[in-house]
Structure 1
Amino acid sequence: MSSIAVDSAERTPSPQIELIAEPMSYHSTEWGFFSVVSRHPEKGMLQKSYPLRLLSEVLSAVPRDRDTYVSQAEFTKPNRRVVNLARVGLLFVDIDPGPITHLDGDQWAMRCLIACQDEGVPAPSLIVFSGRGVHMKWLLDRPLPRAAVMRWNHAQKCLVKRFEHIGADAGARDASRVLRLQGTINEKNLKRCEVVWEDRDPRDGELVRHSFDTLFDELVEVPRHIYDAQRDAEQKAREERQKRRESFTLIRGGKYGLRRLGDRQLAWDRLEDLRSLASMRANNIEGQRMLFLFWSTNFLALAQPTKANSLHYEARSLAKEIAPGWTYKDCDLGTTFRRATAYAQGEQIEFNGRKYPPLYTPRNDTLIQALQITPEEQKKLKTIISKEEAAWRHAERERQRRRLAGMAERSEYLESMAATTEERRKAVLELRGKGLSQRAIAKELGLSKTRVVQLLEGLKEGGQ
């Protein structure tokens, strides 16, 4: 790997004609949207989202003489709400300089690289000087889909923690984050945002990209398999405690052979199930809109992919998705927003000597009854399913496992046994016709005398 520090003398040409290429290293031209936030001289900060296919055109036209930011992830709709996340192609850390504002871009790059060595973290693919601090970015070899956002969040949390001692901003690590755009001016000190360090492969000159699984193993304090085992053990202990509860219980994975899930991952998957269910009922959801929005917002708050103070923005996006053209009042979800804030602050509710989160953690049966989810609809869901559906899926997985192991299906096994029994009956009848005793027949065929008697009685019952 070669480390390329961009010479400061080469960064002085007019920003109005230099190509902005940095976002193209982690944004694709596939379907989806990205967002640009820019400061307007009179209207303040304005945001606009664009299709990814227009990425190069937008980057060539954005204002560069003012504070301008670009989303780091990609979205399914023209906003940057985490509920509309499509994919994310990097990990990043935003270094806030605090009182240390005298360092230039090259000095910051050196400080970050030394910190990477000290922490045992691979060097970032890019280091971008923001005019005050820097953004460290680790490009991924393939983008992660929305389904992996909980693992991505955990990796981000661990990554930021590694660089706390040099000013990593713990509040700037969510998937909806925007970071200052290369080539634009930081209006606080009129310095230009620019790439100050790149890690390129000497074989082809391309930016180095990392495997997310490899980074995850390096960032999390314990290896992946130990991390998963510890999580499963903690989950099992929680399930045992759940059995003794006398109030609301959150049914978690693990029963009927289902994959055990962490609380946040389960909440996220429940949110995805509710969105799928709302999509199935798109033409018949008129009387259930608020119910869907309430539970969706509740599970989003439990998953915590974004800050609690942004929850009302996410709820608006969910409302538009559940019922296009529908608007609601924030006060309708006021209790949920307050509970989400309390949950984010670590507050708990004590009931019957036990502590619970301030948000709602319903049983599967509660959700199925409240939303009247049919067995046919459950077949298309991931976690909000009845015990009967869970048992059926477990049986189906066992059938698949037996097939892969080369084991016969029960019907095939019974058919084979029936054929074997019929062959033995014919042999017993043939030897009996030759005058052999039951004991002699048993010895000849390698059977017990009892089995020979059973076969002969079967022949009698059959009228032979």
Structure 2
Amino acid sequence: MENLNAYERAKYHAWFHHHEADGYITLAKKTKKGFQQFHVKPKKLALKLSKWLGEDVYFSQNTFYKPQRQIELIRQLRSLYVDLDCYLLNYDPKWIIGKLELEFFNQSIPEPSLIIFSGRGVVLVWLIDPVPYQALPLWQAVQNHFVQQLKAMGGDTRATDAARVFRLDGSINSKNGEAVQVQYRHDYRYVLRDIQNEYLPDLQPKKKTRGRRKTVERLFNTYSLHHARLLDLVKLVELRNHDVKGYRETILFLYRYWQCCYVADSEEALRQTLIFNSQFTEPLAEKEVIRATKSAEKAWKAKNTEEANAVAKEKGYPGAGYNLKNAKIIEWLDITEDEQVQLQTIIGRNEKRKRNTEAKREQRRKEGMKPRNAYIKAQKEKTEDKLWLLQKALDRYPNATQKQLGIKLGLSQQRIAQLLKEVKNR
């Protein structure tokens, strides 16, 4: 790699990370006009790199199914990563790597696939077998666990979202003029579940949970809920053909709050919120979005403050932040029952009851019990058989009493009386 020029190094870095990828990859660059982004399919990535390479060039670590860099649009989760801001702690990057090799790799965290020396800090990247967006809650739990393991080494807790971009090999960090370099350690792609099993066993579902295991599982469930609710907001806007006038402020407020809770990065949450707003048929002005949703960030910060949580609990609340019930969200957004059918978590009692009933039916089917229609059909067939037998008995014993017929057919006198009525009505 040392003999390759900057373009060849950048091209190899992108290929090593994203070969055989599906979806859009985001290229980003800091310019005088701001942070520019371009979304490209993997086959066209090399061509675009030749035009973009230079100072402050980044690329997304995961792919998107639309040409937009949003968590809700994740196509494939292709890597885990930890950004180590070692320069803030005055740690030398080489010393950091040496310490990691001795005390962390293959102990509390697996050995990374590659290491990006970004000019000031270090980024550890673990390539994984691609998984779809449905695995995002598990991915986020593993991601946050890795960051917590490396927090003392400068692990950036704000750089944990799935839409993150990092610097590209061969590019230049304009802050100090240093060239970005990548160290490739192995080409093995980890399996996300294997990482969970080996490094986060507490995420395994268990009936009884105590202490740390209970805390980890609760966090995992929280990630799942926040992600599902974000997807519900996106779906609701789609169902209304992006025409949400009269509800824009509320939708964006909820979106920004749940983004803060999910990515734990207020700046990234705001960026995602502004993108979401731009998709409305009549978007709000940027200043209006920031003003209307500012309290969402404030509530999220309070949620992560021990003092604020203690005050909230003294007042009878579960904790600081917004603990909104579905009924309240449905009321605020006037979500109809037809719309609820297509949502995951923001549903009312009627829809919840319907889903529980269907789940029980499905469980009975799996356990070998017949669906109601099949059951009714089987019962009718049994009745037809008994009516046929009764008619034969009447033909042979025309003077038999109901009791005598019951004895011959093995049925109660009451059942014989019911069957005789059906015979007469035919």
Q: What is the aligned residue count?
A: 412
Deviation at 1:211, TM superposition (A): 1.2
1:114 aligns with 2:75: no
How big is the alpha-carbon RMSD for the aligned residues of Structure 1 and Structure 2? 3.7
Structure showing the higher helix proportion among its residues: 2
Deviations 1:130-181 (A, max 9, x none): 3455322111111442x43332221111112333454433343333433232
Map residues 24-423 of structure 1 onto 2, 5 A cutoff: 24-27=15-18, 30-38=22-30, 43=32, 46-53=34-41, 54-64=44-54, 66-75=55-64, 80-82=69-71, 85-97=74-86, 98-101=89-92, 103=94, 111-117=99-105, 119=107, 121-145=109-133, 147-164=134-151, 166-186=153-173, 191-199=178-186, 207-222=187-202, 224-226=204-206, 262-282=221-241, 284-301=243-260, 303-323=261-281, 325-328=283-286, 329=288, 330-346=290-306, 347-348=308-309, 349-350=311-312, 353-423=315-385
Give the deviation of 1:327 after TM superposition.
Answer: 1.7
Gaps of 5+ in 1: 1-9, 200-206, 239-259
CA distance in 1, matches of 2:421, 2:162: 76
8 Å CA contact retained: 1:425, 1:455:
no
**1:188 and 1:298 mapped to 2: Cα distance?**
32
TM-score, normalising length: structure 1: 0.75
Q: What per-residue deviation string (whole Å, max 9, x for no partner) do you get for residues 30-64 of structure 1?
A: 443413234x5xx4x94221122342123233344
Q: Distance in 2 between matches of 1:421 and 1:63?
A: 80
Which amino acid in the other structure matches residue 158 of structure 1? Answer: H
Cα offset, 1:194, TM superposition: 2.0
Report Cα offsets for 1:346-401 as digits up to 9, x if no partner.
Answer: 53252674233443333222222322222222221111222112222233333334
Report how far residue 415 of structure 1 moved.
3.1
Cα distance 1:95–1:280, how it changes in 2: closer, same or farther (>3 A)?
Answer: same
* Residues 102 and 196 of structure 1: CA distance in aligned 2, closer, same or farther (over 3 Å): closer
Question: For 2:126, what is the secondary structure of its paired residue?
Answer: strand
Q: Which residue of 2 aligns with 1:454?
A: 415
Aligned-residue offset at 1:342: 2.0
**CA shift in 2, pair 1:409/1:118, >3 Å:** closer
Query: For each residue in 1:238-261, what CA deviation from the matched residue of structure 2 results, as whole angstroms up to 9, or x when unmatched?
Result: 9xxxxxxxxxxxxxxxxxxxxx98
* Other-structure match for 1:21: 12
Contact 1:93 1:135 (8 Å CA) reproduced: yes
The CA distance in 2 between the partners of 1:165 and 1:300, in whole Å, is: 25
Whole-Å separation in 2 of the counterparts to 1:19 and 1:313? 27
1:119 counterpart SS class: coil
> Is the Cα–Cα contact under 8 Å of residues 159 and 265 in structure 2 kept in the other structure?
no
- Between the aligned residues of both structures, percent identity stands at 23
1-structure distance, mates of 2:235, 2:15 = 32
- Asked if 2 retains the 8 angstrom alpha-carbon contact of 1:115 and 1:163, the reply is no
Query: In the alignment, is the contact (CA less than 8 A) between 2:242 and 2:280 conserved in 1?
Result: no
Shift in alpha-carbon separation, 1:344–1:57, aligned structure 2, 3 A: farther
CA distance in 1, matches of 2:123, 2:113: 11
Structure 1 residue identity aligned to 2:262? Q
Return closer, same or farther for 1:114/1:445 CA change in 2, 3 Å cut-off: farther
Distance in 2, Cα, partners of 1:118 & 1:409: 51
Residue 127 of structure 2 contacts residue 188 of structure 2 at CA under 8 Å; is this kept in 1?
yes
Residue in structure 2 matched with residue 246 of structure 1 by the alignment: none
Aligned equivalent of 1:257: none
SS of residue paired to 1:427: helix
- Whether contact under 8 Å (1:33, 1:79) holds in the other structure is no
1-structure distance, mates of 2:116, 2:150: 16
**How does the TM-score come out when normalised to structure 2?**
0.81
In the alignment, the residues of structure 2 paired with residue 88 and residue 431 of structure 1 have an alpha-carbon distance, to the nearest angstrom, of 71
User: In 1, are the aligned partners of 2:402 and 2:416 still within 8 Å (CA)?
Assistant: no
Deviations along 1:242-283, one digit per CA (max 9) or x if unpaired, are: xxxxxxxxxxxxxxxxxx982342232122112211112126
